């Protein structure tokens, strides 16, 4: 998984120092979850790495939910309601929901195409013409997903820029709260950014995807390395492109696309369930924030 520019790894030690021992235990728990996410391997593009990060993010957001229920948190936010950092956190919560929605939509579209393609492969009544048509639809849908993801990733650029926060006349709990909420949003965006890249697979500019297949097939060694490094989404993309470039009626050729599709579907299901849970958490946190500001 590509290292995100939003990943605040270097702040883990400094963040720990900003939470005194007398700080509320939930603050400390949030800090612990953040440090665990900081220590995770964001350079890996494996499914297990993605699942591990989403699980860690789930634990962090559960902790943040509890944080917003604390009277000291509610009091701090209410007293600071006119400050720019509050608007920043509120806007950030909406941005997180937008990015999560983009990932969910991409997964849903891909899943529908996978299921339709698998159905046609199982029937095999329409011959290669029907199969080729469905593969083209799948590859087109993947382009749509990549376009939406590219737009979402573009919107994330510059999000790490924060408004000025003056610590003058602020108690340490308010300063710690602001720091924590900013870190939570930065880490969450970083993980979503990596997830979007994972779903999109390798995003190709010119040359076209057909040139990619040709290049992959030049040597067996290069093809094997690509296969080993790719995630389930990328493997399906490459397999379908390769199939279209050398379509035959051989059953072995069908298996070349059937196996990656069968592996991709449960991966999509797992990611969908994880994202749906995260989406609900993010909504609850945003609602809690709005309730505090409106009371």
Model pLDDT for residues 188-207, shown as the tens digit of each residue: 998 998 899 899 876 544 44
pTM of the predicted structure, to 2 decimals? 0.79
Q: How large a percentage of the chain has pLDDT more than 70?
A: 73
Which residue's entry shows tokens 């924030």? 289
CA distance 120 to 131: 7
| Average pLDDT of span 114-126 | 81
| Average pLDDT of span 86-109 | 92
pLDDT of residue 169: 66
CA distance 184 to 227: 34
Of 94, 4, 99, 93, nearest to 42 (Cα)? 4
124 near 89, Cβ under 8 Å?
no
| Average pLDDT of span 50-73 | 93
Residue 7, φ and ψ in degrees, nearest 5: -75, 115
| Average pLDDT of span 13-29 | 62
CA distance 234 to 246: 19
282 near 96, Cβ under 8 Å?
yes
CA distance 28 to 35: 11
Lowest-pLDDT choice from 62-66, 122-126, 215-219, 251-255? 215-219
How distant, in Å, are the alpha carbons of 33, 91, 95, 98, 108 from that of 56?
A: 7, 23, 20, 20, 23
Which residue's entry shows tokens 């087109």? 140
CA distance 45 to 121: 28
Alpha helices in 69-83 (DSSP H): 71-79
Residue 227 reports pLDDT greater than 60: no
Q: What is the number of other CB atoms lying within 10 angstroms of the CB of residue 279?
A: 16
Give long-range contacts, CB 8 A cutoff, 24+ apart: 281-286: 281/58, 281/61, 281/62, 281/65, 282/61, 282/93, 282/96, 282/97, 282/100, 283/97, 284/65, 285/61, 285/64, 285/65, 285/68, 285/93, 286/90, 286/93, 286/94, 286/97
- Start-to-end Cα distance in the chain: 42
pLDDT of residue 220: 38
pLDDT digits (tens, 9 = 90+) for 239-280: 998 888 876 555 557 888 889 999 999 999 999 999 999 999
Band (152; pLDDT cuts 50, 70, 90): confident
Q: What is the number of other CB atoms lying within 10 angstroms of the CB of residue 247?
A: 14
pLDDT of residue 172: 78
63 near 26, Cβ under 8 Å?
yes
């Amino acid at each position: 998984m590509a290292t995100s520019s939003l990943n605040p790894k270097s702040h883990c030690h400094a963040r720990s120092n900003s939470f005194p021992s007398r700080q509320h235990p939930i603050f400390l728990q949030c800090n612990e979850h953040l440090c665990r996410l900081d220590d995770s391997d964001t350079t890996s593009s494996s499914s297990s790495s993605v699942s591990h990060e989403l699980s860690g993010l789930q634990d962090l957001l559960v902790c943040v939910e509890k944080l917003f229920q604390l009277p000291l948190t509610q009091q701090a936010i209410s007293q600071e309601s006119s400050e720019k950092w509050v608007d920043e956190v509120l806007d950030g919560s909406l941005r997180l929901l937008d990015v999560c929605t983009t990932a969910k939509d991409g997964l849903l579209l891909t899943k529908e195409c996978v299921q339709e393609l698998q159905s046609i492969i199982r029937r095999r009544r329409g011959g290669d013409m029907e199969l080729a048509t469905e593969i083209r639809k799948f590859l087109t849908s993947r382009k749509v997903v990549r376009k939406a993801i590219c737009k979402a990733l573009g919107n994330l650029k510059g999000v790490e820029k924060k408004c000025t926060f003056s610590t003058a006349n602020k108690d340490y709990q308010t300063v710690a709260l602001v720091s924590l909420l900013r870190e939570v949003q930065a880490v969450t965006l970083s993980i979503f950014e990596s997830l979007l890249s994972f779903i999109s697979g390798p995003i190709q500019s010119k040359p076209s995807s057909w040139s990619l297949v040709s290049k992959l097939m030049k040597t067996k060694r290069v093809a094997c390395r690509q296969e080993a490094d790719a995630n389930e989404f990328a493997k399906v993309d490459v397999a379908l492109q390769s199939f279209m470039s050398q379509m035959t009626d051989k059953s072995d050729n069908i298996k070349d696309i059937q196996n990656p599709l069968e592996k991709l579907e449960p991966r999509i299901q797992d990611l969908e369930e994880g994202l749906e849970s995260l989406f609900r958490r993010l909504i609850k946190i945003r609602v809690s924030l709005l309730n505090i500001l409106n009371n």
